[in-house]
Amino acid sequence: MEHTDIDFDPTELERLEELSNGVLDLIEAGRFEDAAKSCETLRRDFPDQMDWMERTAELHEARGETDAAVEHYEKCIGFIQRNADDFDPDAVEWYREKIEQLRG
């Protein structure tokens, strides 16, 4: 995942990446409450990064909460559009396709 305007030390970047990747591990293990706590930590500690939005969307998706997942994927699109220089031009399209898959 791209990290925009990172102006913190390498230790903080490592923490961000560990938290973000840890959410995926927790979701895969079915530990949704722990994953939700980690998403909240990401949102609180790294509000200017997209990780919390995407990981929260993935958590909602894993729980079968389609509307909430779509809402957070849409937040990702908005974030990318506001920070277009930091993302691959195809990133928005990937999220749009993801939303369409969820909406069926």
CATH superfamily, with its number, for domain 10-103: Tetratricopeptide repeat domain (1.25.40.10)
Residue 4 has pLDDT above 80, yes or no: no
DSSP-derived secondary structure for 56-70: HHHHHHHHT-HHHHH
Q: How many CA atoms lie within 13 A of 23 on its CB side?
A: 26
* Per-chain mean pLDDT for the chain: 93
- pLDDT confidence of residue 40: 98
User: What pLDDT is recorded for position 3?
Assistant: 53
- The pLDDT score that the predictor gives to residue 64 is 97
Quote the Cα angle for 82-86-92, to 5°: 60
Nearest 10 degrees: CA dihedral of 3, 63, 71, 22?
Answer: -10
pLDDT in tens, 24-74: 999 999 999 999 999 999 999 999 999 999 999 999 999 999 999 999 999
Helix (H) or strand (E) holding 26: helix 10-28
pLDDT at 8: 64
Give the rounded percent of residues in the chain with a pLDDT score beyond 90. 86
Sequence-distant (≥ 6) Cβ neighbours of residue 74 within 8 angstroms: 95, 99
Task: Please report how the helices 10-28 and 51-63 are oriented relative to each other, as an axis angle in degrees rounded to 10.
Answer: 10
Tokens of 19: 């938290």
